[in-house]
Amino acid sequence: MQKLLAAALLSAAVFSAPAYAQTAQTAQPPGPAATAGSQEKMMLKGNWRASKLVGLDVYNDGNEKLGEINELILDKDGKVNAVVIGVGGFLGMGEHDIAVSMDKLKFVEEPVRTSATAPGATTRDTTGTQRETTTGAATGATTTRSGDANDWMPDHAVMSGTKEQLKAMPQFKYSEYN
């Protein structure tokens, strides 16, 4: 009986020793409480993915391709401070990067029109407001945005100026801002 009692005490001590060896952990502050409102779906319809804007073609008002968006520069609050556009070059070689403010771009959700009498495109300015534009006075037609349009990215961006004017702008270099 003494051997049985000694074995029980010894096994209890062996199995509980790791629990005593642990130090007390400091309590972590609780995270934000989950409420019924936070479980609801966020209303994101009509927004664009930043990853889809990188690589987006930029045209001028004459439908000439100026370059493409290479980078979005954000402030600490997540607001887009600048858009880096690669102008010219071929396959990334000889490209001239410039930085412009977001309000210099107009985003268009329909393909580039090549005819001067083509119907207008639905555009969305940087505030997210949709409006109709008519590029062909001869037809006077406007188009409305279809319900199955891709809300996660526009088709292209439009910026005033020519490729030569943009190449004449100061070059954006990341190393100057480190």
* CA 12 – CA 16 distance, rounded (Å): 6
Strand partners, 74: 80
136: how many CB neighbours lie within 10 A of its CB? Answer: 15
Q: Are strands 80-87 and 65-74 parallel, antiparallel or unpaired?
A: antiparallel
DSSP code of residue 169: S
* CA 35 – CA 70 distance, rounded (Å): 39
Least confident of 8-12, 58-62, 125-129, 148-152: 125-129
pLDDT confidence of residue 34: 58
The pair of three-digit structure tokens given for residue 95, joined into one six-digit string: 């490209």
pLDDT confidence of residue 44: 82
The pair of three-digit structure tokens given for residue 46, joined into one six-digit string: 């009509």
Average pLDDT, the chain: 74
> Does the pLDDT of residue 107 top 70, yes or no?
yes
* CA 10 – CA 143 distance, rounded (Å): 85
- pTM > 0.75: yes or no: no
Q: Are strands 65-74 and 156-158 parallel, antiparallel or unpaired?
A: unpaired
For residue range 39-54, what is the model confidence (pLDDT) as tens digits? 567 788 888 899 999 9
Q: Nearest Cα to 135, choosing from 113, 153, 168, 103?
A: 113
